[in-house]
Amino acid sequence: MPVGNHQPHGETAQGGPLKRELGERHIRLMALGACIGVGLFLGSAKAIEMAGPAIMLSYIIGGLAILVIMRALGEMAVHNPVAGSFSRYAQDYLGPLAGFLTGWNYWFLWLVTCVAEITAVAVYMGVWFPDVPRWIWALAALISMGSINLIAVKAFGEFEFWFALIKIVTIIAMVIGGIGIIAFGFGNNGVALGISNLWTHGGFLPNGIQGVLMSLQMVMFAYLGVEMIGLTAGEAKNPQKTIPSAIGSVFWRILLFYVGALFVILSIYPWNEIGTSGSPFVMTFERLGIKTAAGIINFVVITAALSSCNGGIFSTGRMLYSLAQNGQAPANFGTTSKNGVPRQALLLSIAVLLMGVLLNYLAPGQVFVWVTAIATFGAIWTWLMILLAQLRFRKSLSPEEAAGLKYRMWLYPYSSYAALGFLLMVVGLMAYFEETRIALFVGPAFLILLTVLFYVFKLQPTQTTSPAVSS
């Protein structure tokens, strides 16, 4: 299929015929930027509370499962590089309904993730303005990011590249500063702190294996967004080279940033004190005696959440636009403004996000756990579709074609089945724990609603030609 002629179902339409303009640095940083956000800066404190120092194990186990999922996606994306890849692969290998559910689910997933991002903005603005209600900051974040998207979004890859870079540089600085505290006693009168905090407060596994299992839902939320590499496949300059390279490097970098950052935090602070007095990142810089840096870190976290929210609003608007172009959403969502902005689609996404603001007003304490649980369910659905599509994709190949694959899954098919089993275990754990159970009411209910709409309105993909849009 020539890129840019047809809008496959679920494609993120970024301005008419797609151009292969995204380089390796854009794709790597976009995927890293999507992952390194709220999950690390805010979610880590909640995950540490559940698992203690053993949270590092949770991130390593979750990371290995994600690596298998990404190799499954990479295998298909290198063989057939189309934008909106996993939605298209679900459609091609699992049927039109699976493609439709995956496209709409991804739209919903990013909306819920945006709620998590604006909640994070509200939490961190509360550090500076403790007397202002959370929902006001959540509303301000939504209005500002929504407005930016409604005016025009240009050079999106470049924008996300630089914003991701801010986050990454901050984490590296925190890790280096933290190692200075641990090994050389920076900010501790020259007395090296060591790593005894990893086991002196109830042991490495203070809440047992149950704590590790309980944290997996939060951990998997942190990895949400890595599949964005697949979405960029149709716009990558050299997908056969770029996609495998990006998948490999992103996994190791995420593991380094997450596990490295958590190792430093958990070595410096007793795990049971983390989260009681704000962000561990801010606390670390305060420990180094850099009072102004704490404010800077707070600012970095807020901009990180805003950039992720901005990217989410962009993704949802374009996804809805492409679904409309494909005859799988109301036709008015498939129109654009003079600036090439799918305004109707964006306005719907922003209107739904107002529910997130309402949640921050009604239940400020629970909203983060709720939205991360619902987003994790949406992500797990996407990852399940990737693995199932990859298994069907392999079966559709002749032995000669399978042998000629340029990018291959390790230990096929055992690794794919192991990752499938792991994801189903996480769903089971979400059902077991009361806090996360809400996701199993909201997520499946949304999928059932979509299935009914698919059959009632006969929403088979139309494969219509997309008009040129300049963005």
CA 417, 422, 424, 425 torsion-angle sign: positive
Q: What percent of the chain has pLDDT over 90?
A: 20
Average pLDDT of the residues of the chain: 80
Residue type present at position 207: N
CA 310 to chain centre: 13
Higher pLDDT, residue 312 or 445: 445
List, for residues 74-91, the tens digit of each pLDDT value. Answer: 899 888 876 556 778 898
Q: What percent of the chain has pLDDT over 70?
A: 84
List, for residues 338-353, the tens digit of each pLDDT value. Answer: 766 778 888 998 998 9
CA 45 to chain centre: 18
Residue 228 has pLDDT above 90, yes or no: no
d(CA 65, CA 59) in angstroms, rounded, equals: 10
Q: What share of the chain is helix, strand, coil (3-state, %, to 5)?
A: 75, 0, 25
The answer to whether domain 24-61+107-373 has CATH 3.40.50.1820 is no
Residue 8 near residue 462, CB atoms below 8 Å: no
Higher pLDDT, residue 219 or 46: 219
Q: What are phi and psi of 465, to 5 degrees?
A: -80, 135
Mean pLDDT of 110-121: 85
Residue 265 near residue 178, CB atoms below 8 Å: yes
| pLDDT number for residue 239 | 76
Mean pLDDT of 252-266: 85
Mean pLDDT of 327-332: 82
d(CA 255, CA 29) in angstroms, rounded, equals: 15
Residue 192 has pLDDT above 90, yes or no: no
* Tokens describing residue 230: 């697949």
Residue 430 near residue 373, CB atoms below 8 Å: yes
List, for residues 350-384, the tens digit of each pLDDT value. Answer: 998 988 888 878 877 777 778 878 888 999 999 99
| pLDDT number for residue 468 | 35
| pLDDT number for residue 65 | 93
* Tokens describing residue 325: 């172009």
Q: pTM higher than 0.85 for the full model? A: no
| Partners of 465 in the β-ladder | 6
| pLDDT number for residue 53 | 93
Residue 112 has pLDDT above 90, yes or no: no
How would DSSP label each residue in 275-326?
A: TSSS-HHHHHHHHTT-HHHHHHHHHHHHHHHHHHHHHHHHHHHHHHHHHHHT
| pLDDT number for residue 42 | 66
Mean pLDDT of 90-119: 88
Residues whose CB falls within 8 Å of the CB of residue 304, separated by 6 or more in sequence, listed in order: 36, 37, 41, 163, 166, 167
| pLDDT number for residue 463 | 57
Of 105, 121, 169, which Cα lies nearest the Cα of 379? 105
Higher pLDDT, residue 276 or 20: 276
Residue 157 has pLDDT above 70, yes or no: no
List, for residues 23-32, the tens digit of each pLDDT value. Answer: 667 777 776 7
Residue 430 has pLDDT above 80, yes or no: yes
Start-to-end CA distance of the chain, whole Å, equals: 23
Higher pLDDT, residue 29 or 175: 175
Residue 305 near residue 114, CB atoms below 8 Å: no
> Which range has the worst mean pLDDT, 89-93, 148-152, 185-189?
148-152
d(CA 120, CA 114) in angstroms, rounded, equals: 10
Mean pLDDT of 272-298: 74
